[in-house]
Every structure is written in structure tokens, then in C-alpha cells.
Amino acid sequence: MKSILIVDDDKDICLLLERYLTKKTFDVATVHTGAGAIAHLKDHHVDLVLLDFKLPDYTGIDVLQKIKIVNPGTQVIIITGYSDMRVAIESLKKGAFDYVAKPLYPDEILLTIQNALKTKAPKRKAKPNINPVDTYIIGISPQSQTLQKHIDLIAPTNMSVVLLGETGTGKEYVAREIHLKSTRSEKPFVAVDCGALPTNLVGSELFGHVKGAFTGAIADKKGCFELADGGTLFLDEIGNLTYENQNKLLRVLQDKQVKNVGGIKSTQVDVRLIVATNENLRAAVARGDFREDIFHRLNEFVIELAPLRQRHEDIELFAEHFLRDANLQLDKNIQGFSQETVDAFKNYHWHGNLRELRNVVKRAVLICQERHIQKDNLPLEILQTINHEQESLSIVFNSAVPKDLKTVTEEAERKAIIEVLRKTQNNKSKTAEMLGIDRKTLYNKINAYDIDL
């Protein structure tokens, strides 16, 4: 007996579909929210989901994406009251089997279900030079949705792109996604971390060298610009380039030609450039550390990646994705996370963003001996955050001495400021940003509450 999950906030539709499909010998369950659907899928095998596009908590696309992470083999049929081809196309692109519009006709929906169950759910193809585990995941937060719109907008063009964001926010993943959605997708994608290369080898790595150009140059070598010819070159931490290499980069941008280190001939190249940095390039230009003419040539389109602590809605989605990856890599079958673990993830600062979350999940999968990851499987720095918050609440609300509301409020505010300062390692700007106040207000409160830094 095939199992079907109906996800619709219209209880009448759920009831009618459940009765009809049960008579057709399907095992049917119903839920009314996207969160309810994901919770059900974590605990039950489901062959097919009938998914309403407009739900109280998420859109159908958001839930579809979560379903494909939790159980890629489950077929999904999107149901909507809006005859909108954009919804249909987006649903199919994200892995839905089909799309049907309300009002629903029993024979039509039954035929679509039967066809879907006869068809194996497609898995996302691994693109050239991509580890199948390292797939790009779209978040569901407003920041992530804006990011996706920008990727879709800029990808088909040949414009240079600057990616801004803290370390670990996924800048290389975004660069690769832009490449894969571009007309250059069949050509090479080459990524270079300028910050990880020894200064004396950056020129050779980017522009290549001829035999004998320097000690150790025992053969001719093509640089990354030549290797990426026709495709996309991603330069991470571009602000670390020396002034000499910036000059060579400017020539490539101006003339579309590369000269090998030690060479005399130039080679024509056709490369789309995407660069990334976690520092302010405008400030570097003002200091004289980065050439202004290069900055303006690269700065055709800027995409800013928000840190994970500002995208709480995405944390559980990415954690589930990293869980599936870790299960594959470690040959385990951990089913999910306890609610305490999810709460701990959402309260933690994530200095290393997605990269740190991925490492935490992988470690937890390795040591977990239960079906779900518990908070005790988390590293000490996250557990300390949980314990500190519980201790703070206990001090404020469980004191033996009765306190008036103003005192309780001030103590809670003081504890909150100390906690965020601890998370940001006493970075006042980040602390003020996280607390939603300006720096002057923060300094005044630090002085008023006699907070020792």
C-alpha cells in the first residue's frame, strides 16, 4: 500500500482527498502546515506528497525543498489555486513531479498520482567538478530569497560580480551557482583562494609561468585565467593580492590577455570574473591598498551574503542538509535533531557561519548513538551558551529576594548585553547590531550597568 501525505491548510479539501484516496487503497495522512509536513516525513515513510502551494507558515517551494533534503525519493505534486506558470516552472525546477490547479478533479488527481508513483523521483545531477555532497541549497529566510533572486538575475549576463560576506557564508557556493546558471556552464569553473597562496606564487598561479622563470619552474605551467578560458574564474579574498599582481590583473581586465611569468607572448582569454572578500574594498581603495580602477571594473554587481546568525529561519534547513551529507560520508543513519539541539543551534552565534555549522553537525553525527542528535552531542562552546543562558534566567527569575519589574528588566538587559559581548568577543559594533541599538547607546548601557570588559 502506497503512502500519501496531504499538506493543505483547507481542512475540507484534506478531508475530501483523504476519503477519496483511502477508497483507492492508499494509506493517507493529512497535515495543515509546512512544519507539520516536515515533522511527519522525519518519522514516517511517505511515497508521495500532495502539497498546497500557499501554506500558513511556508510557501510550497520552501516545503518542497525541505522534503527533497529529508527524503529525496518522495514524489511531490504541487497544488495551487493560482494558475500561474511561474509557480509551475519553479516547482518543476525544484524537483516536483507535476503541478495541478484548483479546483481538483478526482480522475485527474488520481492519474497524476499514479504516474508519479510509477516514476522514480529524480535526484539532482552532480555538475562537472562538483562533489555530489557539495550541492547548493537555497535558504528560506528573506535574505536567502533575495540572494537567490540576485543569482537568477545576474547569472545569464557576463557582468563581473563582487561577493561580500563573512568567512563561511558560502561565497564559493554562490559563485559556482552563478556559473552553473550562466551560458558558460559547460566551460570550466576555477576557484582560487588568494589568501591561502604564498605571495611569491600568486602570480604563477593566476597567470602561469614559463620554464626557468624562477627557481623551481621546471616546466611551463598554465595559470588559472587560461584554465578558466571560456568559463568562470572565482578569486576569493581578492583584497590580499599584492600591488604588482593587481597591475597584472588590470591588464587582463583591460586587454583580455594574459602574459605568463617570465614569458614574452600574451595569450587571449575569455573569462568571467567573480571575486569575493570579507573586507571593505572601498576602504582598501581609500587606504591605497587596492587599485581604484580595478575596483570599479570588478564592481559591476555586488551581492552581500548575510551571516547565519541573521538567518534563523535557515539554520534548521542547512543543518538537515549537512546531516544528510554527514550520514553519507560516515555511513550512518541519524534521523534528525532533538528540539533542544535545534534551539541551541538558533541561539548560538556561529562565528564560522555555514562552515562551522557543517563541522558541528558532522562531529555530532560521528558521536551520536541515538536516532536523533541530542544537545550532549554538541561541542563545548555551544553547550556553554545553553548553560550560560539557563544560569542567567535562573539568577533573574529564581532569586529568593523579590524584585520589582524595573530591577528584573535591568538585570535581564545587563545579562543580554554581557552574553552578546561574549559571543562577539567584545566586538562593540557587532554587539550593537545584534541588539538592535547604536554604538552610543551600547556604550551608555555598558557604563550604566558597570559591565567589566
pLDDT in tens, 354-373: 989 999 999 999 999 999 99
pLDDT, residue 368, reads 92
Q: Which of 12-16, 31-35, 197-201, 280-284 has the lowest mean pLDDT?
A: 197-201
pLDDT greater at residue 395 or residue 293:
293
Position 349 confidence tier, pLDDT thresholds 50, 70, 90: confident
Residue 280 above 70 pLDDT?
yes
User: For the whole model, what pTM was predicted?
Assistant: 0.60
What would the grid cell of residue 134 be? Answer: 557539495
pLDDT, residue 126, reads 38
* Residue 15, CA atoms < 13 Å, CB-side half-sphere: 3
Q: Which of 12-16, 38-42, 380-384 has the lowest mean pLDDT?
A: 380-384
**Whole-angstrom distance, CA of residue 287 vs CA of residue 282:** 9
What is the share, in percent, of the chain residues with pLDDT greater than 70? 88
Report the 10 Å Cβ neighbour count for 297.
15
Q: Residue 172: enclosing H or E segment and its boundaries?
A: helix 171-180
Residue 263 above 70 pLDDT?
yes
**Whole-angstrom distance, CA of residue 235 vs CA of residue 195:** 9
Closest to 54 (Cα-Cα) out of 29, 17, 79: 79
Residue 326 above 70 pLDDT?
yes
What's the mean pLDDT in 207-219?
A: 79
Contacts of 446 (CB under 8 A, 6+ apart): 417, 453
What's the mean pLDDT in 413-434?
A: 80
Backbone angles phi, psi at 331, to 5 degrees: 55, 50
- State the chain's mean pLDDT as an integer: 83
Position 406 confidence tier, pLDDT thresholds 50, 70, 90: low
Residue 387 above 90 pLDDT?
no
Contacts of 37 (CB under 8 A, 6+ apart): 5, 7, 31, 49, 51, 63, 66, 67
Burial per residue of 235-244, b for 16 or more beta-carbon CB atoms within 10 angstroms, e otherwise: bbbbbbbeee
Fill in the DSSP letter of residue 123: P
pLDDT in tens, 104-141: 888 888 988 998 898 866 544 433 443 444 566 778 88
Residue 440 above 80 pLDDT?
no
Q: Which residue has the cell 509557480?
A: 87
Residue 403 above 80 pLDDT?
no
What's the mean pLDDT in 407-432?
A: 78
What's the mean pLDDT in 267-273?
A: 91
Fill in the DSSP letter of residue 229: T
pLDDT in tens, 59-112: 888 888 888 877 888 999 988 765 555 666 677 777 888 888 777 888 888 988
Domains of the chain: 3-118 (3.40.50.2300), 142-304 (3.40.50.300), 310-448 (1.10.8.60)
**Whole-angstrom distance, CA of residue 447 vs CA of residue 428:** 13
Question: How far is residue 298 from each of residues 9, 161, 178, 257, 301, measured CA to CA in Å?
Answer: 47, 7, 16, 16, 8
Report the 10 Å Cβ neighbour count for 188.
17
For residues 134 and 354, is the Cβ–Cβ distance under 8 A?
no
Position 384 confidence tier, pLDDT thresholds 50, 70, 90: confident
